[in-house]
Amino acid sequence: MRLSIHHRTAYRFSRPQDRLVQMLRMTPQNTHDQTVASWRIDIDCDAKLREGRDGWGNAVTMLYAEGPLTELEIAISGEVLTSHSNGVLHGMSEPLPPAVFLRSTEVTMPDPAIAVFAASTAGGRETLPALHRINAGLHERFTMDRSRPVAGLTAGDAFAAESATPRDLAHMFVVAARSLNVPARYVSGYSLLAGEHRPTPHGWAEAYLDRLGWVGFDPCSGLSPQEDYVRVAAALDAAGAAPVAGSRLGEGEERLDVDVTVAEA
């Protein structure tokens, strides 16, 4: 499948900013199952861009812009060729051992209710079937919420609600998998799953199995990611895989607008 992606992030500031530094995790990498045919990052002001990698092995672009700045727009566009992989990640460089992804974060702390759900849903089955049952169980349990996620909401608090965003569903899966002593991580990227337009990129999870490696699970669909997904970044939680993270030097308030379009080319 050939997917066309457009991702616009616009900042507006109530007072001019002296300097902006942003880390952009917005560039997908080539694997055995996805090939980047074209990709570009456009900034609407004078800025320095430097490419590199973060500690998780994700491709990053550092953005440095000097003020005064009252607005900034980052526009991403590109096309990626994908293939069917049964959700298994092939050909990805992994700088860290899987056991690192047993660690918890503030939003993915162990939660008793999620642990009980994971154990009862898994039903004593082998690891892969158990994870698929948990993935499907989360999909059936929650109504999908496509609004922007609430910053700092923990997986445990999200589990107590009736609806959940893709980010929070992925966090719940990560906590559930780790409760079974399975390394798991959050993944950010793009998908055709919910139509063409959305206010954020998509998020799902991956879990590590000894004989298969990293396998994707998306509670939004209850299935594993296939050729209608583009993988961009992975980390312990959504904050570590965020498309944009950084700092600004200046007073005033900030307004953020995001628009993502994914379509089959």
Q: How far apart are CA 221 and CA 202, in angstroms?
A: 12
Q: How far apart are CA 245 and CA 25, in angstroms?
A: 8
Long-range Cβ pairs for the range 153-157 (8 Å, 24+): 153/107, 154/106, 154/107, 154/108, 154/109, 154/111, 155/107, 155/108, 155/109, 155/111, 155/114, 156/109, 156/111, 156/113, 156/114
Q: How far apart are CA 232 and CA 225, in angstroms?
A: 13
- What percentage of the chain reaches a pLDDT higher than 70? 98
pLDDT score for 200 = 78
Strand 163-164 relative to strand 143-144: parallel, antiparallel, unpaired? parallel
pLDDT category, 195, cuts 50, 70, 90? low
Cα torsion angle, 224, 230, 234, 236, sign = negative
**160-185 pLDDT tens trace:** 999 999 999 999 999 999 999 999 99
Across 79-93, 98-112, 148-162, which has the greatest mean pLDDT? 98-112
Once rounded to an integer, what is the mean pLDDT over residues 152-157?
96
> Is there a contact between 244 and 9 (Cβ–Cβ < 8 Å)?
yes
Walk me through the domains of the chain, giving residue ranges and CATH numbers.
2-81+244-264 (2.60.40.2250), 85-239 (3.10.620.30)
pLDDT score for 173 = 98
Q: How far apart are CA 167 and CA 150, in angstroms?
A: 10
DSSP states of 52-79: EE-TTS-EEEEEEEEEEEEEEEEEEEEE
**Average pLDDT over all residues of the chain:** 94
- What percentage of the chain reaches a pLDDT higher than 90? 88
**23-79 pLDDT tens trace:** 999 999 999 999 999 999 999 999 999 999 999 999 999 999 998 999 999 999 999
